Amino acid sequence: MNPLAYKMRPEEISEVIGQEHLLGEGKLLQNMIESGYIPNMIFYGPPGTGKTTVANIIAKCANKKFYKLNATTDSLKDIKSVINELNTFSGYEGVLLYIDEIHHFNKKTQQSLLEFMESGQITLIASTTENPYFYIFKAILSRATILEFKQLEEEDIITGIRRAIKNSKEEFKNKEISYDEDALKAIAELSEGDMRRALTLLELLLYGVKYESKNNIDITREKVEELGQKKLLNYDRDGDSHYDILSAFQKSIRGSDPDAAIIYLAMLVKAGDLISICRRLLVIACEDIGLAHPQAISIVKSCVDAANQLGFPEARIPLAEATIYLATSPKSNSAITAIDSALSDLNKGTVGEIPSYLKDGHYEGAKELGRMQGYKYPHSYKNSYVKQEYMPKNLVGKNYYIYGENKMESISKSYWDTIKGK
């Protein structure tokens, strides 16, 4: 017996749920299908969002022979086997080769596809759950259109579940299938935007759960929860989700939203990713809080040390403290802006010679070379300040540090404006 997810796979584009940004009226993929122009493409997005289904439908609409390989189990030998059979596919207008999880192919195997793509022997549609710009050979990217499939919304999942229940009633002729909206919502929540996961869960409810009546299948939230399906966090330490959550975590702290920051922290904690959390908190303390509150790095370092010493689950407490502390602290990026600007100038070319009076003069013969001659020792002057040029020759007059508009840096600016007579 085929799995429910297989039996419910759409056969027409109009039956595909979600992906309106690609398949809606007038959208890119819909226009391609209608025109019959099918370029090489890379479908990028989470599992269970319709990538394989859409590729299959495209092949059907374009009258191309659909051939599917999976990069986790197939190899270059399998690709060549498809190519060797090209002349046997009579009655078709070419071949559409679909490679699932192409990021699992090594560089050599990916490169081997180029010859067949450029000759037009095949139309390639590859799918990946990882960011193609990180994992797919650049030469393939330059020859393919990249289309991102979005995670399905709960409403989309519920629509798919309703459709599956309706189509399953024929199979359960002697039984009445009933459900409440709360049960469908529970399935949708557990599936996390993955239609395949939702249909698998529904299949368990239809076939694997014992109900009070032999003639009725009454799907309720309680029955869904009885299956003991723990909600899985869509998180892979080496994948896209890892960087997306960390990015959202930092941006929420930078945006001074402690509530959003805490939910992203919870995702990272749930994944047990202590190293990434600690590293990111330390970066944020310097990059986003910076000189607006210079003590932040010391406090966060203490929280990080405590978290590493405690380990999970207790580590969540100092991590939460550091997160909320940073999110509610004043913000300044003046330090990172200054160093990045300086590095940019270094990358552009020479900065010129360092003034001779700033060079090291603590060695025999330094005086004869003019080292440290004419240097003014600031502590010998009022307020430990004296005007002299410190910049390399070609950067005289260049400003890298711009005082941030916060209390701490404003006080510092006011002090030095007074000292320097500005």
Q: Is residue 232 part of a domain?
A: no
Q: 240-254 and 274-284 helices cross at what angle (nearest 10)?
A: 30
Task: Determine the 3-state secondary structure of 400 from DSSP.
Answer: coil
Percentage of the chain modeled with pLDDT above 90: 43
pLDDT one-digit tens code per residue, 341-361:
999 988 887 788 888 888 776
Measured on CA atoms in the order 73, 79, 84, 85, is the torsion positive or negative? Answer: positive
Cα–Cα distance measured from residue 124 to residue 113, given in angstroms and rounded to the nearest whole number: 9
- Say which residue the tokens 């493409």 belong to: 41
User: What are phi and psi for residue 2, nearest 5 degrees?
Assistant: -70, 145
Average pLDDT of the chain? 87
Mean pLDDT of 218-244: 68
End position of a domain, from candidates 312, 327, 342: 327
H or E stretch covering 357:
none
State whether 89 and 103 are in the same domain. Answer: yes
CATH number of the domain that residue 370 is part of: 1.10.3710.10
Cβ neighbours of residue 50 under 8 Å, at least 6 residues apart? 10, 16, 17, 18, 19, 149, 195
Q: Is residue 231 part of a domain?
A: no
When comparing pLDDT for 237 and 152, which is higher? 152
When comparing pLDDT for 372 and 220, which is higher? 220
Cα–Cα distance measured from residue 387 to residue 376, given in angstroms and rounded to the nearest whole number: 9
231, pLDDT greater than 70:
no
Q: Is residue 221 part of a domain?
A: yes
239, pLDDT greater than 80:
no
By DSSP bridging, strand 41-44 and strand 95-100 are: unpaired
Residue 285 is classified by DSSP as I
State whether 289 and 345 are in the same domain. Answer: no
State whether 312 and 271 are in the same domain. Answer: yes
State whether 90 and 184 are in the same domain. Answer: no
State whether 370 and 303 are in the same domain. Answer: no
pLDDT at 375: 86
State whether 99 and 140 are in the same domain. Answer: yes
Mean pLDDT of 26-40: 88
CATH number of the domain that residue 287 is part of: 1.20.272.10
pLDDT one-digit tens code per residue, 39-67:
999 999 989 999 999 999 998 888 888 88
Q: Is residue 410 part of a domain?
A: yes
Three-state secondary structure of 178-194: EECHHHHHHHHHHHCCC
Which residues constitute the domain of residue 263?
A: 240-327
Q: Is residue 159 part of a domain?
A: yes
Cβ atoms within 10 A of the Cβ of 205, count? 23
pLDDT at 232: 47
pLDDT at 328: 96
Instruction: List C-alpha distances in Å: 265 to 16, 258, 336.
Output: 34, 10, 24
End position of a domain, from candidates 226, 255, 285: 226
C-beta of residue 73 within 8 angstroms of C-beta of residue 148: no
237, pLDDT greater than 60:
no
Return the closest-CA partner of residue 53 out of 100, 113, 103. Answer: 100
Count of residues in the chain: 422
Cα–Cα distance measured from residue 287 to residue 3, given in angstroms and rounded to the nearest whole number: 50
Specify the amino acid at residue 390. Answer: Y
User: 3-state SS of the chain: helix, strand, coil percent to 5?
Assistant: 55, 10, 40
pLDDT at 280: 96
The tokens describing 197, both together, are 């996961």
State whether 140 and 160 are in the same domain. Answer: no
Mean pLDDT of 74-102: 81
State whether 306 and 365 are in the same domain. Answer: no
Number of separate domains in the chain = 4
CATH number of the domain that residue 217 is part of: 1.10.8.60
pLDDT at 230: 53
Task: Determine the 3-state secondary structure of 302 from DSSP.
Answer: helix
End position of a domain, from candidates 303, 327, 351: 327
Residue 105 is classified by DSSP as S
Q: Is residue 233 part of a domain?
A: no
Residue 168 pLDDT level (bands cut at 50, 70, 90) = confident
Q: Is residue 360 part of a domain?
A: yes
State whether 367 and 320 are in the same domain. Answer: no
Residue 288 pLDDT level (bands cut at 50, 70, 90) = very high
pTM: 0.62
User: What are phi and psi for residue 176, nearest 5 degrees?
Assistant: -95, 120
pLDDT at 127: 93
The tokens describing 216, both together, are 């009725």
State whether 160 and 247 are in the same domain. Answer: no
23, pLDDT greater than 50:
yes
State whether 160 and 131 are in the same domain. Answer: no
pLDDT at 297: 96
Q: Out of 117-131, 144-158, 183-197, 354-368, pick the least confident.
A: 354-368
Mean pLDDT of 90-111: 84
Residue 236 pLDDT level (bands cut at 50, 70, 90) = low
Q: Which of 224-228, 333-337, 394-398 has the highest mean pLDDT?
A: 333-337
State whether 387 and 311 are in the same domain. Answer: no
Q: Is residue 235 part of a domain?
A: no
